[in-house]
Structure 1
Amino acid sequence: MDEITTFTTIAALYLLWTSDTRRRVNRRRRFWVHTILRRRTELGEYHRLIQELRLDDGRFQRYFRLNVAQFEDLLARVGARISRQDTNYRRSISAAERLSICLRYLATGDSYRTIANSFRVGVSTVSMIVADVVSAIWDCLVGEFMAVPTTEEWRSIAEGFEERWNFPLCCGAVDGKHVAIQAPANSGSQFFNYKGTFSIVLLAVVDAQYCFRVIDVGGYGRTSDGGILANSAFGRALRSGTLHLPADRPLPGADHRGPQPHVLVADEAFPLRRNLMRPFPGRTLPRDRRIFNYRLSRARLVVENAFGILAAQWRMYRRSLEVRTQVAEKCVKATCVLHNFLRKTTPGTMGNLPACEVEPLPGLGRLAANNAAREAVRVRETFAEYFSAEGAVPWQPSV
């Protein structure tokens, strides 16, 4: 009798559990598509507002950061990668609408829920679209707009720095930018930076026209810029001499100083190397070293300016990214290649750039010391002597 009672009790509990589960499942599945989302093609932002914005190129550009022609060009490049097939149950979201959702996220940094409500799609749909589209943008544009420079291209970059920034044999300016993110789960202090926020690091090499030529994304926020460079593929290539920089050549008008290497310019956070110049450390410096620091900082401003343009254009950099670290890295890479895409497809952005001046450096506090190889020290001394002699510019006496 006890066994029968026990069995009956277990059966009753099982039936109660299964009926409760069915009720919860039915409650979750009450809507195949929510009633608000069903009106996407009537009231969604893409189908109403954006179609009206197409009639006003200026407003369209402020909304997406691309004008109508650039949007269509980008869509033609990535459309095949981001298109999805219709099914018997529903029509897929078009490639143009998927691209619009992604660009709106990059341009504003709004939450997925805000974007979802505007476009009348699901939050999980926005999440998948952003991750897919930023990957497609990077894959489809990187080969044309951010390929690793060849020796000839490095030489062309050096000519640009000499012409615009009065720094010969310079193949780029290097710096790192912290991109704020929400603290990843179980990450400890790896992403916690000196600013008191959590971040990943964008390390970039920028040319004289404010275009990104090499980037490394995903370094831990706690790591210094020098450490990020050392751990990156670019840094390893620079150390091993496999970056295909042009051969050594004399500085303009200074053949007697002998051939000098092509260099990159950086701030005091980076080490001094034969192909990587950083400022002279110290508070009180001889005039030739002050001039060198001034000229180096003037050339190095291009990378700071490029970061400023990037953050002003893609407002996601003004917020803390509330996405997975892998997605944040893809978003950063996509905005960098889009930055180059816009600069090279917008008339006037590549030719008429204003030259920037910087304040003299002697008033700065002591710069950090950094041991360097003798060859690197000799190269920096040669550049310093050159900038005070054959390579002097008219405004230097005030430095």
Structure 2
Amino acid sequence: MTVPKFNVLLTLLRERLQRFSRRKPVDEETLLSITLTYLSQGCSPQFLAWAHKLGVSTIRKIIYETCDAIWNELQSEFVAQPNRTEWKNIAERFYIKNGMPHCLRAVDGKHINIVCPKRSGSLYYNYKKTFSIVLMAFCDDNYTFVFVDVGALGSQSDGGVFARSTFGNMILRNSLELPPDDYLPGTNTIFPYYFVGDNAFPLKKNLMRPYPGRNLSPIKQNFNKELSSARVHIENAFGILANRWRILHNTIHASPTDVDKIVLATVVLHNFLMLDRNSGYFNENFVDHIEDGTFTPGTWRQSGSKIRSIRVSQANRSSAEAFASREELTEHIFNNY
């Protein structure tokens, strides 16, 4: 983060960070600096306490309150739900990049490791035999997060978390304000706008997932390849997030409520910095890209520690209409690309 960008962030948060007491309170710049150091470096509160000559409990309080202020102040502007026109613009950009018509977003979930909460039993115990909460997110073609849902129990499957999230519930019930069905490019076929995910998610008219199995026909293999190229955006977004905010690589020693605040703060800070490509936060080498006709993996993949994906759940039941929609889209992509 550049100094000018830090000053902009401080200006936005100054009013929420102001403290008043008989003793001289910690100033707003120090509060923000401590929190950003904790989030970006993943250092322990004990280290920050020694560095700033403050108590460990004071440092923890500073971090949790500042993370809460960051989310509450910036969320409405930097993690806002698009309107119909913005949805359509996103779909057009996705189409230019990936060749997937009417594709709105990619969705995925990641485990955030935490210490076992008191009296929680196996609620947070995941398939990797650690304790975690789940970060479920949608991203766009610019690797910014448009919707996040954090705090689900680590023992839940990807599809289960999705179905219980506010945004997922709106998609499954078809109550989200998406653009109306429109013609597929170059055809007279009316087709809905949709999101893409992996096999952990249910197949719906507005939520596409790949064909399962290995011995697939060429037309189905082509569809899976194109869907994967669209879905890789969410993998890259998570990769940038975790490698810029190293706290997500650690096992976070905090209550689930406070972990939620930490994770949400990293997400909104990610968007805040990603929207300014001159901030030094992002460069093209971070993400998967084509260089001289050759696929080059993003540098975030070279990190020795990555946040883990949710386990693929059992097959979800889907309607005949959803299967027919996927077949129709599969044929369109195969015949036009």
Query: Fold conserved (TM > 0.5)?
Result: yes
Deviation at 1:241, TM superposition (A): 2.0
1:294 aligns to 2:222 (yes or no) = no
The one of the two structures with greater contact order (alpha-carbon pairs below 8 A, sep at least 6) is: 2
Counterpart residue number, 1:387: 333
CA contact (8 A) 2:110 2:135 kept: yes
Kindly provide the CA deviation profile for residues 237-296 of structure 1, in whole angstroms up to 9, marking residues without a partner as x.
Answer: 1122221111111211122xx211101000011111111100101221111000000000
Kindly provide the CA deviation profile for residues 337-372 of structure 1, in whole angstroms up to 9, marking residues without a partner as x.
Answer: 10000011233989967646599xxxxxx9964331
Q: How many residues are treated as equivalent by the alignment?
A: 316
Q: Which has the higher helix share?
A: 1
Q: Distance in 2 between matches of 1:284 and 1:318?
A: 36
Counterpart residue number, 2:205: 274
CA contact (8 A) 2:108 2:234 kept: yes
Question: 1:76 is matched with which residue: 11, 26, 29?
Answer: 11
C-alpha distance 186-335 of structure 1, shift in aligned 2 (>3 A): same
CA contact (8 A) 1:70 1:345 kept: no
3-state DSSP class of the match of 1:254?
A: coil
1:96 aligns to 2:42 (yes or no) = no
Question: 1:85 is matched with which residue: 16, 20, 23?
Answer: 20
Deviation at 1:118, TM superposition (A): 1.1
Q: Distance in 2 between matches of 1:192 and 1:367?
A: 16
User: What does residue range 146-161 of structure 1 map to in structure 2 within 5 Å?
Assistant: 146-161=79-94
1:205 aligns to 2:151 (yes or no) = no
1:117 aligns to 2:50 (yes or no) = yes
1:217 aligns to 2:163 (yes or no) = no
Counterpart residue number, 2:215: 284
3-state DSSP class of the match of 2:112?
A: strand
Q: Distance in 2 between matches of 1:332 and 1:369?
A: 29
Q: Which has the higher strand share?
A: 2
User: What does residue range 321-340 of structure 1 map to in structure 2 within 5 Å?
Assistant: 321-340=252-271
TM-score, L = length of structure 2: 0.90
Q: Which amino acid counterpart does residue 179 of structure 2 have in structure 1?
A: P
Kindly provide the CA deviation profile for residues 197-254 of structure 1, in whole angstroms up to 9, marking residues without a partner as x.
Answer: 1110000001011000000000000100100010010011112222111111121112
User: Which structure: larger Rg?
Assistant: 1
Q: Distance in 2 between matches of 1:313 and 1:351?
A: 12
3-state DSSP class of the match of 1:213?
A: strand
User: What does residue range 19-34 of structure 1 map to in structure 2 within 5 Å?
Assistant: none
Counterpart residue number, 1:313: 244
CA contact (8 A) 1:202 1:215 kept: yes
TM-score, L = length of structure 1: 0.76
C-alpha distance 162-351 of structure 1, shift in aligned 2 (>3 A): farther
Counterpart residue number, 1:344: 275
CA contact (8 A) 2:195 2:206 kept: yes
CA contact (8 A) 1:271 1:278 kept: yes
User: What does residue range 220-299 of structure 1 map to in structure 2 within 5 Å?
Assistant: 220-255=153-188, 258-299=189-230
Q: Which amino acid counterpart does residue 18 of structure 2 have in structure 1?
A: S
Q: Distance in 2 between matches of 1:354 and 1:220?
A: 30
Percentage identity across paired residues of the two chains = 41
Q: Distance in 2 between matches of 1:212 and 1:370?
A: 25
Q: Distance in 2 between matches of 1:313 and 1:196?
A: 26
Q: Which amino acid counterpart does residue 137 of structure 2 have in structure 1?
A: A
Show structure 1 runs of 5+ residues with no match: 1-65, 360-365, 393-399
